[in-house]
Amino acid sequence: MVEPGTYLEFSYPINRHVRLFEVVPRRLRKIEVKRVRDLVREPLTINEFARRPYVMRSRWLIAGIDLDVGQWRQFYLGSSDEFRAPGNLRIALYRPGDTCPTEILGREFLPTVFDRRVMLRLIRRWNDRDLGQMDLRIVCDNFRIVK
C-alpha cells in the first residue's frame, strides 16, 4: 500500500468518532511516512481497542512526521477522503507470533456506536474464557476503498 519514506497529502477529519465522522470538517495533512501498520498482520490488542473503541479505524495505520507542525502523528489511512475505507472491524483469535488470524469470531462490526458497544461486551465475555494459547485481537480486514 504505502511504504515508509513516502510523502503523502490527504484530507483527514478533525474528529474520528464514529458518530461524527461523516459530518466533521476535513483538514489537509502532509505526512512523511515512517511506519505502516497493517491491522491484519499486526492487529489491535484488546487494550488498544478498548482505550478508544469509538474511533473510525481502517486496515492501514500510518505513522510519521506531520510536515506542517513537525510532530509525530498517526493516521488511519482509510479515514482520509482519498483512501476512504468502510471501517468495519472483526474480533479474531491469533496464535502468538502469527500474522494471520486462526479464527474469526462472530460477525463483522460496522462503524456505529451500537456495534462498537456490542463488540466491547463480546470482548469482555470472550476475554474471560480460557482461549488456550490464542490471543484475542481486533482486525480490520477490509480491502475495499470507498469513493
**Structural domain spans, the chain:** 6-140
Q: How confident is the model at residue 146 (pLDDT cuts 50, 70, 90)?
A: very low
In DSSP terms, which residues pair with 17 in a beta bridge?
55
pLDDT at 2: 87
- Please determine, for residue 141, whether its predicted confidence score (pLDDT) is greater than 90: no
pLDDT tens, position by position, 9-56: 999 999 999 999 889 999 999 999 999 999 999 999 999 999 999 999
3-state SS of the chain is CCCCCCEEEEEEECCCECCCCCCCCEEEEEEEEEEEEECCCCCEEHHHHHHCCCECCCCEEEEEEECCCCEEEEEEHHHCCCCCCCCCEEEEEECCCCCCCCEEEEEEECCCHHHHHHHHHHHHHHHCCCCCCCEEEEECCCCCCCC
pLDDT tens, position by position, 64-95: 999 999 999 999 999 999 999 999 999 999 99
pLDDT at 147: 46
